[in-house]
Amino acid sequence: MSYLFIFLLAICVVVTLFINLHPVFGRNPNSGQKERYSKFGNYDNGKFVNQVPTKMDMNAFDYFSMIKDSISGAKDRNPAGQLPVSKIDWNKIKSEEDSLTWFGHSAFLLSINNKKILVDPMLGPTASPVSFVGSKRYSEDMLHLIDEMPPIDAVFITHDHYDHLDYPSIKKLKNKVNHFFVPLGVSAHLIDWGVKKEKITELNWWDETEFQGLTVAFTPSKHFSGRGPLNRNSTLWGGWVILGDKTRFYTSGDGGYDTHFKEIGKKYGPFDLTLMEGGQYDRRWSWVHMTPEESVQAHLDLNGKNMMLIHWGAFTLAYHGWTEPIERAFNASEKFGVSMIAPAIGETVPLDGEFSIPASFWWK
């Protein structure tokens, strides 16, 4: 028993040291930041909170049912083979025309007002702090694409979860990016990873700023944050409004359906294109992720003209089939008369007001 106790203690010490010392976990906001955040209405007792009380924990039955689903759930949770990536047209991306290039999940490159903007550039192979645990990317490792990208005017982060804020991607990007826009608290991670403080702007919900002719606003979502077991909700989460001369754009970040979409639509709509999360949903965490049908309704609440589903097509983080989100979203869009695009991974969509790129149903 003594040897067993020593062994378990040693494991606990190693894990604790790993979490506290390995840079992939980032760093918590410092005391000065926490003091500043304490004056905000969405910060309570050292943690950020949603606009409405949100259940964040599952009961024992939920955990047992998850184990059961992982063993006997949907057999098509992953593609049969590696997903192809379209040959990226860098000349089209480098042109002065507004466009969008999707890299799977919630990562994309937005060209707007001839500014190159990366949002949630998770281009690494695993949505996890360690390579041997966590969901593997369906397609090839995309980190090499950073070397091929033109200079990036700005990176926008929606929150600090591993499938949105990727340590290897930021390390590779940091010297290629002019500026980073992040939620409150996320600067602590970036500074720890070598991004200069003066290149980072933190925003709270409803904060608005100008960036090289663009109007940028950080908007609420109903979600949570954290990169380790002891720092949940130490940083903020949300979506982004980006308004250019020709394109009014919105991306939701992660979050459950609620009234904030109507608030955003009233303040900043209509939008030419909305990118709505609608994958990795489950009844056991319905309060922090939308179903595809809720994503379509949120798009309508936002007064959006065209919609694209994100948060799918790269990683398995839930128990539904990997193509189920896009298929359900298309069914809902047809029911409610919503114009929806679904580009292939790596495909560049012109944002010319017509959105004439038809759905290729490439996932079939």
Please write the tens of the pLDDT for every residue from 232-252: 999 999 999 999 999 999 999
Distances 46 to 202, 226, 288 between C-alpha atoms, Å: 17, 13, 20
pLDDT in tens, 23-40: 899 999 999 999 999 999
Once rounded to an integer, what is the mean pLDDT over residues 150-172? Answer: 98
* CA–CA separation, 105 and 34 (whole Å): 31
* CA–CA separation, 348 and 145 (whole Å): 14
Q: Has this prediction a pTM greater than 0.85?
A: yes
Domain extents for the chain? 90-350
pLDDT at 17: 47
* CA–CA separation, 179 and 208 (whole Å): 16
pLDDT in tens, 170-206: 999 999 999 999 999 999 999 999 999 999 999 999 9
Backbone phi and psi for residue 163, each to the nearest 5 degrees, phi listed first:
-85, 5
pLDDT above 70 (res 255): yes
Token readout for 361 is 């149903």
* CA–CA separation, 313 and 97 (whole Å): 26
Give Dmax over CA atoms of the chain in angstroms: 71
Q: In a 10 Å sphere around its CB, with 0-12 CB exposed, 13-18 middle and 19+ buried, how is residue 65 labelled?
A: middle
Which residue do the tokens 């007064």 mark? 303
Superfamily the domain 90-350 falls into: Ribonuclease Z/Hydroxyacylglutathione hydrolase-like (3.60.15.10)
Token readout for 189 is 């991670």
